[in-house]
Structure 1
Amino acid sequence: MQTLVGWHIEMEFQEAGAHTSAVAMLRLGDGTELRARGDTSRHPSDPEQLRVGEEIAAARALNDLASQLLTKAHGEIQEVSPVPTHPLS
């Protein structure tokens, strides 16, 4: 029998001039909350495209979130396994 598991990621953006930041929050089934941030700045000569800034900032926040998940999983494996593991990056 398969078990369906779902996670929801909340993403918020803040824009100030040419700077865009994104904050991602993931709540796991074990109660852990992971938060990550991504930032980007538009070059002054580039056209204003808010959506593009949001996409880049979000991608950077999600990349950080992925790294945190890998570190967490690695730590949990190390707690129960006598075999040395290496964190994925």
Structure 2
Amino acid sequence: MEDKNWTVQIHITEDGDDTRAEAVLTAQDATLGTSTVTGRGVAHRNPIDRPIPEIGDELAASRALEDLAIRLHDIASDDIVQLTGPAEA
């Protein structure tokens, strides 16, 4: 069995009270080559709250990672259906 190395980079941008994050998974596969999956997340600071950028970064990044996990799960589910056919009710 070959070792695999998947990397996730999180890119964070701030614009006023909004923080956006993208979690980009890059996977190397000997037969399929390189593939990427991207999850996105947003955090919005309430203007009456103190500006603490780390909290916005953490929230946006966690939401991007959650979105990435959902997208990856959906890809795996689609692959299973392609290989085995749809589940019967």
Give RMSD over aligned pairs. 1.7
Cα distance between partner residues in 2 of 1:79 and 1:16: 41
Paired-residue identity, %:
30
TM-score by length of 1: 0.83
SS at match of 1:23: strand
Aligned to 1:19: 18
TM-score by length of 2: 0.83
Point out the structure with the larger strand share.
Answer: 2
- After superposition, the C-alpha distances for 1:13-34 in whole angstroms (9 at most, x for unaligned) are 1111111000111112342211
* Segments ≥4 residues shifted beyond 2 Å: 2-6
Structure 2 spans left out of the alignment, 5+ residues? none
How many residue pairs match? The answer is: 84
Cα distance between partner residues in 1 of 2:64 and 2:77: 20
Structure 1 spans left out of the alignment, 5+ residues? none
Aligned to 1:69: 72
